[in-house]
Amino acid sequence: MTIIIAILSFKLLLFQGVCTFILLSRLARGARRIPPLTPKLPYLALIGKVSVIIPTLNECDRISPLLESITRQSYETREIIFVDSNSTDGTQEKIENYSKKDPRIHLITDPPLPKNWVGRPWALHNGFLNSSENSEWILGVDADTIPHKNLVATVLDFAIQQDYDLVSFSPQFILKSMGEWWLQPSLLMTLLFRFESSGVNTNNPSTIMANGQCFLIKRNILTEINGYTYAANSFCDDVTLARYVASLGYKVGFADGSKIIKVRMYEGLQDTWQGWGRSLDLKDASSKLQLWGECLFLLLIQALPLPLFFLCLFFYPHFDFLSFKLLFALNTFLVIIRFALLGAIASSYQFNKSISELTFILSPFADILAVTRIILSAFTKPSQWRGRVYE
């Protein structure tokens, strides 16, 4: 039995050691990342450069904060196009009421969803087709976000200064229940472990991250690639499109927008599990080899360290061979890193001194669940989303 455990310990130590080296190299690059964007005031050179496109589908109960914020954007915003997919809850009426106050707001209804399209990229595609040719940039924004009043000026100035052709921004998340505070940070950590963090540039298109909640791209690029057609059937259309554009040689970036845009995505633990897990595996933007390599990586480097730490701690008095002790040391190190990373992602959350927020500290204990969700999602393709049913 001791020999078997020694062999297993050595093999596990070897695989985890390689994954730890990869993780540390990514974290080292993250330490030198571009800091979070701070709001910038608009200036005359930005006048009329951006068309904002916002897809909607039954958003009546949560779209008011967006409407209040997006209509406060300054003169760099040429138009605000809401592309509604036949909402039945009063969403269109609410948008129309705001259009009476702000002539930049245009409400259109997208045509019936084609068989080979997912709803979100279809809405964005139709928004692009209906946008002004005088706009140099297209900014996609989700209906559940709360933009800063200078969001458009800030992201546009950043893209110009950094010479990006496409750049998207990570938001600050608004969580409420204890279940959300426990599970969601663990799901977010799966992205941090697999890819470069926001604010880190990468030359490898296959590892580029993107966020469709705030997604800025040059209009001429969308014209060249026929709008959002390349990401038509992708449930992670933002990452799919960003990686494709990067593969064409354009400069693509992913920055920290936690100070300029907030989002309340899901309600409660179950909604977080279903919603975040829907496309977090990013299989629509990855090869099968990359997908399963990432799943194995997460299993070894995020899911197993905490259970292995307690298991090795329990059996430590009974085994004194080197591979077991090194395995215990390595997983202790990984657990320390995991808890330390809570500080690194803390700025991605809006804290209000609620008792529910205490479970944020316990989120590493949800890592097994988070990685399991990624693996389950990797096996399946969503059959329905936001009221739509897909074959």
pLDDT in tens, the chain (391 residues): 677 877 888 889 999 999 999 999 988 888 788 899 999 999 999 999 999 999 999 999 999 999 999 999 999 999 999 999 999 989 999 999 999 999 999 999 999 999 889 999 999 999 999 999 999 999 999 999 999 999 999 999 999 999 999 999 999 999 999 999 999 999 999 999 998 777 677 878 888 999 999 999 999 999 999 999 999 999 999 999 999 999 999 999 999 999 999 999 999 999 999 888 888 889 998 999 999 999 999 999 999 999 999 999 998 888 878 888 999 999 999 999 999 999 999 999 999 999 999 999 999 999 999 999 999 999 887 777 666 776 6
Distances (CA, A) of 363 to 145, 171, 301, 345: 24, 19, 15, 12
Backbone angles phi, psi at 261, to 5 degrees: -155, 135
**Reported pTM:** 0.94
Give the residue among 248, 73, 50 at the shortest CA–CA distance from 159. Answer: 50
- CA 164 centroid distance within chain: 19
Whether the CB-CB separation of 244 and 208 falls below 8 Å is answered with no
Copy the structure tokens of residue 207.
């590892």
Q: For the chain, which domains are there?
A: 1-383 (3.90.550.10)
CA dihedral 134, 138, 141, 143 (to 10 degrees): 50
Residue with tokens 């969601």: 184
Copy the structure tokens of residue 273.
């599990």
Interatomic CA distance for residues 333 and 16, integer angstroms: 11
Copy the structure tokens of residue 217.
């791209």
Spell out a b/e string for 317-328, using b for 16 or more CB atoms within 10 Å of the CB, else e.
eebeeebbeebb
Helical residues (DSSP H) of the chain, grouped into ranges? 2-30, 64-70, 91-99, 119-129, 151-162, 178-194, 219-224, 237-247, 268-277, 288-298, 305-315, 322-345, 367-379
